[in-house]
Amino acid sequence: RRAGIGGRAGVGRRAGAAFHSDISELILCQNEVDLALRNLHTWMKDEPAAKNLITQLDSAFIRKEPFGLVLILSPWNYPLNLSLVPLVGALAAGNCVVLKPSEMSKCTERVLAEVLPGYLDQSCFAVVLGGPEKTGRLLEHAFDYIFFMGSPRVGKIVMTAAAKHLTPVTLELGGKNPCYVDDNCDPQTVANRVAFFRYFNTGQTCVAPDYVLCSPEMQARLVPALQSAITRFYGDDPQSSPDLGRIINEKHFQRLRDLLSCGRVVIGGQSDESDLYIAPTVLVDVQETEPVMQEEIFGPILPIVNVRSLDQAIDFINRREKPLALYAFSKSSQVVNQMLDRTSSGNFAGNEGFTYLTLTSLPFSGVGKSGMGRYHGKFSFDTFSHHRACLLSHSGLEMLNNIRYPPYSDCRQKLLTWALGSHSCTLL
């Protein structure tokens, strides 16, 4: 907490971007540290377990133990948050950690390697720098736990490597996050919220709304409202706005610029390769088979896909891979709850964006191809802890155990069945 990493990493060098960085990078990390410091003593305690009749005189509890040596592979889009938040959980649980930050965030990678060793015991912590080759070499080793955040493509590589050593993993991956907008919504309210969360960090957020599902009638009202929101947030010339960042590198810039040819541009569409700038963009008349609907966008482009009903929207979502996040906007709680009940996603928000990430009381997780495992707050501590089942019995009182030994009479079988039949017992 005292390291002052943010300033040295050049976080938020653009004036407005500094506030976004304070929110997403520094404040959330500080919250995780504070929570762990306040509650670690409680988290570490043995957890009493319910007992059946046959174990009433025994001590049953769950002990949290560190796995051992943990490898954390963090991405570039929030290089501090996505390195330090899992690091807090892994260290709090008592593990030794090898942290491999993304080589694409050069400043943060360097500062993490320079600053953290001054605050953490180097006998249980190390930062490894390098590109994909170095990551591949790390994955050849037998770690006790691997935590990875990134693309599903690389996630498969990580899981394949982990399988060779039967190493447990947490994978926080990406995907295409749907955003359903009901006809009864106020279009400007929805536009403000969707635009803010879509273009936050220039759309380079794994839980950002990736596309909108709405009726043609709502689209006609939503598009001008989105234009109003974008102009309000970033001005008439978004490229000069201090609140709008840039694309991470030329490779991703070229990928995003190619996506601008999908559908029809109704807002934005401008780009500047020399500045790695892609304007906040909205696309309509998008076909399901076009690239913009086949891959995670991870940039400031928002396609709108037309559906005629809630049922059609749910069917559209359920025919695809389970997303990391799903958003539903409606004045009707019944509509929001139907979307929640009839779909599956790692995370869900009704009438809001990814504000749930600010709550350490909620787990962050993927499901299906959007990932596995969970973290944040105590969930991080639990993820990086082996929950060891413990039962301590007496060395004497052997007469009480005679009921379980053969031979079994009808009376003994009934008595033993009854003793094991407590609601607290599920398995002998």
Q: Tens digit of pLDDT for each residue in 275-312?
A: 999 999 999 999 999 999 999 999 999 999 999 999 99
Percent of the chain with pLDDT over 90: 85
Percent of the chain with pLDDT over 70: 94
Q: Tens digit of pLDDT for each residue in 93-142?
A: 999 999 999 999 999 999 999 999 999 999 999 999 999 999 999 999 99
Same domain, 280 and 339: yes
For residues 117 and 11, give the distance between their C-alpha atoms in angstroms, rounded to a whole number.
Answer: 20
Task: Assess whether 107 carries a catalytic annotation.
Answer: no
Token pair of 301 as six digits: 């482009």
DSSP string, 289-319: TSGGGTS---SSEEEEEE-SSHHHHHHHHHT
Q: Is 407 domain-assigned?
A: no
Same domain, 311 and 162: no
Q: What is the mean pLDDT of the chain?
A: 94
Same domain, 169 and 182: no
**Cβ-count burial of 414 within 10 angstroms (0-12 exposed, 13-18 middle, 19+ buried)?**
exposed
Same domain, 138 and 256: no
Which of 29, 179, 206, 262 is an active site residue? 206
Which of 32, 172, 179, 296 is an active site residue? 172
Helix (H, G, I), strand (E, B) or coil at 266: strand
Same domain, 164 and 59: yes
DSSP string, 366-402: --GGGEE-EESTHHHHHHTEEEEEEEE--SS-GGGGG
Q: Give residue 287's region: left, alpha or beta (phi > 0; psi -120 to 50).
A: beta
Kindly report the length of the chain. 428
The pLDDT of residue 402: 84
Same domain, 36 and 69: yes
CATH number at residue 94: 3.40.605.10
Q: Is 328 domain-assigned?
A: yes
The pLDDT of residue 425: 46
Residue with tokens 């390291």: 3
Same domain, 318 and 337: yes
Same domain, 279 and 338: yes
DSSP string, 226-262: HHHHHHHHH-S-GGG-TT----SSHHHHHHHHHHTTS
Task: Assess whether 206 carries a catalytic annotation.
Answer: yes
Same domain, 92 and 204: no
CA angle 351, 278, 129 (to 5 degrees): 90
Per-residue confidence at 428, pLDDT binned at 50, 70, 90?
Answer: very low
* Long-range contacts of 50-54, Cβ-Cβ distance < 8 Å, separation of 24 or more: 50/424, 51/422, 51/424, 51/425, 52/419, 52/420, 52/421, 52/422, 52/424, 52/425, 53/418, 53/419, 53/420, 53/422, 54/404, 54/416, 54/419, 54/420
Q: Which domain, by its residues, includes 12? A: 5-173+374-386
Q: Tens digit of pLDDT for each residue in 170-208?
A: 999 988 999 999 999 999 999 999 999 999 999 999 999
Per-residue confidence at 424, pLDDT binned at 50, 70, 90?
Answer: very low
The pLDDT of residue 5: 61
Per-residue confidence at 22, pLDDT binned at 50, 70, 90?
Answer: confident
Same domain, 213 and 128: no
Helix (H, G, I), strand (E, B) or coil at 334: helix
Q: Does residue 1 surpass a pLDDT of 70? A: no
Per-residue confidence at 401, pLDDT binned at 50, 70, 90?
Answer: confident
Please indicate, yes or no, whether the overall pTM of this predicted structure exceeds 0.85.
yes
Q: Which helix (H) or strand (E) holds 225?
A: helix 216-234
Same domain, 298 and 257: yes
- The total number of structural domains that make up the chain: 2
Q: Does residue 16 surpass a pLDDT of 60? A: no
Token pair of 315 as six digits: 């069917």
Same domain, 199 and 136: no
For residues 284 and 298, give the distance between their C-alpha atoms in angstroms, rounded to a whole number.
Answer: 18
